[in-house]
Every structure is written in structure tokens, then in C-alpha cells.
Amino acid sequence: MEHIDLTLIWAVIIAFGVVMYVLMDGFDLGVGILFPFAPDDSSRDLMMNSVAPVWDGNETWLILGGAGLLGAFPLVYTVLLPALYIGVFLLLAGLIFRGVAFEFRFKAKKSRYLWNWAFAGGSTVAAFAQGAVVGAYIQGFNTVDGVYVGTALDWLTPFTVLTGVGLLLGYALLGSTWLILKTEGELQQWAYRVSLPLLAAVLVVFAVIGVWTPLVDEFVRERWFGNLTTIWVLPLLTLLAALVLYRAVQRRQEGIPFVATMALFVCTYLSLLVSKWPYVVPPEYTLWDAASAPGSQLFLLIGVLFVTPIVLAYTAWTYWVFRGKVSADVGYH
């Protein structure tokens, strides 16, 4: 095992877990973000029914990423938790509100409007907090000897607000294209109408973030405008995914918009990774600086290699069982 880089293997595992969470939980958060703007209450019933069977399973990937970071890269927790206490609290609070709203809204009568707002508000807060945390990672952390020495609000800057809004819009786009795939009739036509304005907003915000980041981060500027010109294929692929999405919506196709939106997210995510590689706690600590002992990584790796195929299998089975369109006369509850 001495010739195998366990740290690199764990980096790939965690990166995979994070992108799976973004794609899987992103669309049901997006449905929640769009909830207040739906045409009517029956449309909101359909929106919730479209994600109710899968939303809690989607969050399995968040647990994998978080637990993997704790076990394989403990320095990340040492720095990021004190730096992001408020952001992480908002994220978890939003997820809790959304989860409770799933169960109570179906039973409520007079108080249903409150659970509508809990579902929408929880989804919006959770999405914004995730984007702000990503922005905080991009801008880096103030550390001394592996200890965070900044304040509790250092993460909240104009840049992180922009990244929070960007992910909020991106999740809304994922949600609208999911509704195109899973619904029909008036709600599907509404999803078609909102998808293109959301795509335009996402591209504008992502473009501003893409210009802003190299201006304030010398490492990112050198990475993108130095000798490593091959990474420019990622923004080009992002634009290609956006073009495919635009044409698919214009042609009223059903499956391709959702797939194209996922491709847009994957390309953007890879662009973020290559911008900061190999720093896991920028601007000072690399993956290898933050890694736990090889014995700990190996022990955890055995468990992950056993559990991950099971998670993939039951996730695929769930989506297969609940495939097809949702309808007003058949509800999850």
C-alpha cells in the first residue's frame, strides 16, 4: 500500500460525494425555491410529490462528504467549522425546516400556507448557505499554525453573497428542468417558461464570479492565465451545455434540459476544483497537509468501498421505482 496515494483516493471520493449531493439534492432544493411562484396550490402539490420519494435519500451524499472530510482530512474541520459556524447552522436549519414541511404540509389544513413557506424558506436558506460556503472556500481562510484566527462573520462578504445567489439560481434551474421531466400540462409549461430566464441569470452570475475570482486571487489568476491553457475547455463545455439546454427548452424536449443542466453544474464544479487544486484549506494547506494518518484513511476506505455500491444501488432502484410523470390523483402520502 506504500505506493498508493490514499490522500488522492480520498480526494476523489469526497469530490464524487459532493457533486452527487449537488446534483441529487440540488433539484429538490430548486423545487422548494420555486414553490412560492407556482401557478396554484394544486401545482405545488405536484411539485412536492415529484421529489417526496427521493429527497431524503439524496441527502445521503451530504453525509458521505461530511463524514469523509472528518475522517480523511481532519484539518478541514479544525479550520472550516469555526470559520463557518453561522453558515453551516443556516444550512442545517434550512434542511430541517424543509424536511419537517414535507411531512406536515400533507396533513395540514388551515396551517398549510405556513408549511408552504417553511418548505420554500428552508430550501432557499439552505441553497444560499451552500453557495456562501463555496464562496468562503474560494476566498480562503485566515489561519495561523493550522488554527482559524478570523471572526465568525469573515465568511460573509459581497463575494460570498454573490456565490450564494448564484447557487440559489442554479438550484432553481435544476428544479425547473426537473419539473419539465416529471410533470405535464400547465405546470410543465410554466416550468418551460421560467427555465430560460433562470438560465440567463445563472450565466450572468457565473460570469461575474468567473471574472471576479482571478482579480482577487493571484493563485487562481496564475492557474487560468498561466501555462495550463487546457483547462479553458471547461468553460467552453459549460457554454455548450447552456446552449444544449436553451435549444432543448425551445424545442419543448423533456429529458435533455435536466441532463444539460446537470452537465452545466458538473463543468462549473470541475472548474472550481482545478482553480484551487491542490488546496483544500486555501490559501495555505494542501490535501496532503490536511490528511489524517494513512492507517486511518485505509480503515475508512474499506468501509466506504463496501457502503458506496449499496448507496448507488438503492438510489438507482428508488429512481427506477418512481420513474415517470407525477399526477394529481396519485400522491406520495
pLDDT tens-place string over residues 246-286 = 999 999 999 899 999 999 999 999 888 888 888 888 888 88
Provide the mean pLDDT of the chain: 87
In this predicted structure, what is the pLDDT of residue 248? 95
Retrieve residue 7's grid coordinates: 490522500
In this predicted structure, what is the pLDDT of residue 289? 87
Retrieve residue 221's grid coordinates: 489568476
In this predicted structure, what is the pLDDT of residue 158? 92
Name the residue with higher pLDDT: 109 or 329: 109
Residue 123: closest CA among 111, 113, 134, 115: 115
Model confidence at 217: pLDDT above 80: no
- What is the share, in percent, of the chain residues with pLDDT greater than 70? 96
In this predicted structure, what is the pLDDT of residue 163? 93
Angle between helix axes 186-216 and 41-51 (nearest 10 degrees) is 60
Model confidence at 331: pLDDT above 90: no
Model confidence at 111: pLDDT above 60: yes
Mean pLDDT of 189-212: 93
Mean pLDDT of 164-173: 95
In this predicted structure, what is the pLDDT of residue 333? 52
> Do residues 80 and 281 make contact, with C-beta atoms less than 8 angstroms apart?
yes
User: C-alpha distances in angstroms, 298 versus 117, 281, 310?
Assistant: 45, 22, 19
Instruction: Give tens-digit pLDDT for 36-78.
Output: 998 888 888 889 888 888 887 777 888 887 788 888 888 888 8
Residue 138: closest CA among 2, 304, 294, 268: 268
Q: Ramachandran region of residue 279, left (φ > 0), alpha (ψ -120 to 50) or beta?
A: beta
In this predicted structure, what is the pLDDT of residue 59? 78
Residue 50: closest CA among 38, 62, 67, 60: 38
